[in-house]
Structure 1
């Protein structure tokens, strides 16, 4: 495999061939209506592909294929060791097709190619390998009941599982759901975001090559109000697992209630507080890490530390370091391996993100740096790294998820005020706390209402730890062995012993 700096990525992109069909029952298919929708690259605004615009009839076909494959046991009845072998083979194929998959991610959503390779593709392969390796090491239970009964507690697959995933990490968010769902024996229907469907289709093709039986892993393409809603309301989908906005997550809860009370898992929005206290002596380091985390992936992350809460005595130093760090995130060509910040996902999203610049000013915040579009001549969707200062926590830029490269700086006088502001949010996904005082770290981290608290770092990541949030940041957890629980039913079986 070539070093990434030895590849002409523009040439590779021009030569790239990819499927423009969905995958149902192991076959590449168009929408039954014949309709398509267009997907454009945010790198230059040019048309990438026309993909099947699927509707209810197509969803019925995908669900029927998944149901048939589940009921006849072609996957669910295979031993955990057999499923393990196939999932590990899929991980190997993902690594073998590293460059192709990375290109699909970069062309579809604008992230730098070096990040697509070094982070996304690597993490996707690791995810399938992790759950493949894990599944034959998860045991059922024998309950400690009386001696005249054998009481078994067993985990059985849900059946037909739908996964609806976003565009910011197209393959990785899919892997976080598809890998544990397949490992536990379910049949899966994946609905990628309409902005970033290409890698999902390729992933399904590689799954077939790895040995996942036809009908077990299906990919349907189309618009959220059509395909997502049809999956959410379908009476033969046993579980639906979604990553995306809180607003859409609430729709899926409604769909479950209006249909068959299907099991729901939701990983939703965030407005993560990042608290830097004066008790952390290396203020510059904390500020640099905070900037890197906030502007990584163009700020298009639900865990983005976009609310930077700083003790007033170190505020000026922190802001100055942020401004200097912005020089490392000047938007560049995503197909250049040296680029740190690429394009946001599309022109429509860029317009929405840019609206917050006017919102910040209208509410009295200062735009300290950035706040402009970049690389306009390319036709792409690029935005400068941006800092809003003198922000109050009740401002929209402190309460709403922007999903772009923008940091809101909030000054506080005490650690207690910092915690109060951190928790004054409808979200509770990620958070961070910077302090050299060990007792303070223990005490304050327990007071933060969030599913993840990073102390003296940000965005620490490992498959062995659960990912998810409190409040309107969702229900359930991705990653770790805990994620397996979402895709199984618990059954108690009582056997009387004569």
Structure 2
């Protein structure tokens, strides 16, 4: 694994060490070795970032100069594209992404979705005319204006960090906000590169600040509780999202949350090439470390034994195809950390204890290397009340549940605290669409359609979050609405 240069803080337009030069180790998931050092911010560093962002919003033309900020965001995108090789190295070595994931969601989709946000920007309405109204003996003209909300604290995860960082940073900047980005401790480089390239692009001091810290909570707590921060955008676990809502309530802070998922993939009995559909459901892409993955597979009871046989053969065939750093066809590598590996193994052990049948995998794999490897895993004989069917595992663990008929499939899919994504497959499109419309989820694929793209709003129902990311709706999350009523002369 390569050794990366020290990841520094970016505060008030300056790349600098943390207070006292304090750093922490950046661990590579493939080997478990140190791949670099990251600045370990102190409370004073976070305070400086908040003050800089507040000053930049309150005393500069950043919130009102639409052309200036679009030009700088465009320049930043051009620099990211020019530094694609660096992004790939970060995604591979820091995030632990295999090449298939790098070439899709980790890097390529980050850059493509960023471009989609810029394409959406000219379509934003900054004013709306509500017309005139006669009342109290005079006429009032009514107009809405849409303004940046202010200072944004962006708290981001480790699973797709470049992609999520871009979503939050770019949307907020285009809206006219100033930003403090706090990446996850496990993936500091994926955050720091935003500061490095923003400096190169010529961003005004304080508009974008990047804070890294070993402590996963300290900087986030400061952002959430500080009255100078107007909005918190967070992607991560539902438990932390609830904590942010409670903490932010004291200052009536707006919160925008993209949280967990336990999404269902429903394969109906009339699905053309049923075997291929079932086989394609194995949960291996980026080791299942995605909030929108479909980790519950629902298949008809009449074809359940057939589905189990297909899955068993598929997992056996895949058993030698994962965990290869340089294989361009590899879709699954290690998980991000030892802590995450142990958490996933705990759920595997729980599934066995709950009475589910381990069809495939379930083992830690130290023979794959010194990093954090756990096998692709599949449980069958699962009922939807088991914890492995209700709780987000965030690893390569698929649970397979039989259903009686369409109504039963809908019931099982909706019997979840989450509602982020899902899918339905059938030979009858109208049947599949009718089921999809009854699933309580923010995005859903029908017969392989793609409902997630940079120009489309993405978000969840229930405990999967509040608000929408990407597209025009994603930028609008960072705006306030002001109504003006005036009497014409």
Check if 1:110 corresponds to 2:96: yes
> 1:325 corresponds to which residue?
314
> 1:239 corresponds to which residue?
231
Distance 2:437 2:114 in 1: 32
- Root mean square deviation, CA, Å: 1.8
Check if 1:35 corresponds to 2:35: no
CA contact (8 A) 2:444 2:451 kept: no
Check if 1:99 corresponds to 2:85: yes
Which of 273, 284, 287 matches 1:298?
287
Check if 1:21 corresponds to 2:12: no
User: Which string of whole-angstrom CA distances, capped at 9 and with x for unpartnered residues, describes residues 370-404 of structure 1?
Assistant: 11122435211111111100001111110110000
TM-score, normalised to structure 1, is 0.92
> 2:244 corresponds to which residue?
252
Distance 1:202 1:75 in 2: 21
* Greater CA drift, 139-148 or 53-62: 139-148
CA contact (8 A) 2:4 2:36 kept: no
Check if 1:69 corresponds to 2:56: yes
Check if 1:470 corresponds to 2:461: yes
> 1:86 corresponds to which residue?
72
TM-score, normalised to structure 2, is 0.94
Distance 1:495 1:206 in 2: 44
Distance 1:277 1:265 in 2: 35
Measure how far apart 1:317 and its partner are. Answer: 2.7
Which of 451, 455, 458 matches 2:446?
455
> Any residues of structure 2 matched to 1:259-270 within 5 Å, and which?
260-270=251-261
Distance 2:331 2:347 in 1: 23
> Any residues of structure 2 matched to 1:88-487 within 5 Å, and which?
88-139=74-125, 140-146=127-133, 148-222=139-213, 223-258=215-250, 260-291=251-282, 294-326=283-315, 327-328=317-318, 330-376=321-367, 378-457=369-448, 460-487=451-478
Provide runs of 4+ in structure 1 moved above 6 Å: none
- Structure 1 residue runs without a partner (length 5+): 1-12
Aligned pair count?
Answer: 481
- Structure 2 residue runs without a partner (length 5+): none
Distance 2:4 2:455 in 1: 35
Residue 41 to residue 380, structure 1, CA distance change in 2 (3 Å): same
CA contact (8 A) 1:283 1:314 kept: no
| SS at structure 1 position matched to 2:73 | helix
* Greater CA drift, 127-136 or 394-403: 127-136
CA contact (8 A) 1:323 1:369 kept: yes
| SS at structure 2 position matched to 1:387 | strand
User: Which string of whole-angstrom CA distances, capped at 9 and with x for unpartnered residues, describes residues 120-178 of structure 1?
Assistant: 22222223322233223312211123273332211100111011010000110111111
Distance 2:357 2:265 in 1: 19
CA contact (8 A) 1:334 1:343 kept: no
User: Which string of whole-angstrom CA distances, capped at 9 and with x for unpartnered residues, describes residues 90-114 of structure 1?
Assistant: 2221111111111112211211134
Distance 1:137 1:410 in 2: 44
* Greater CA drift, 93-102 or 141-150: 141-150
Measure how far apart 1:479 and its partner are. Answer: 1.2
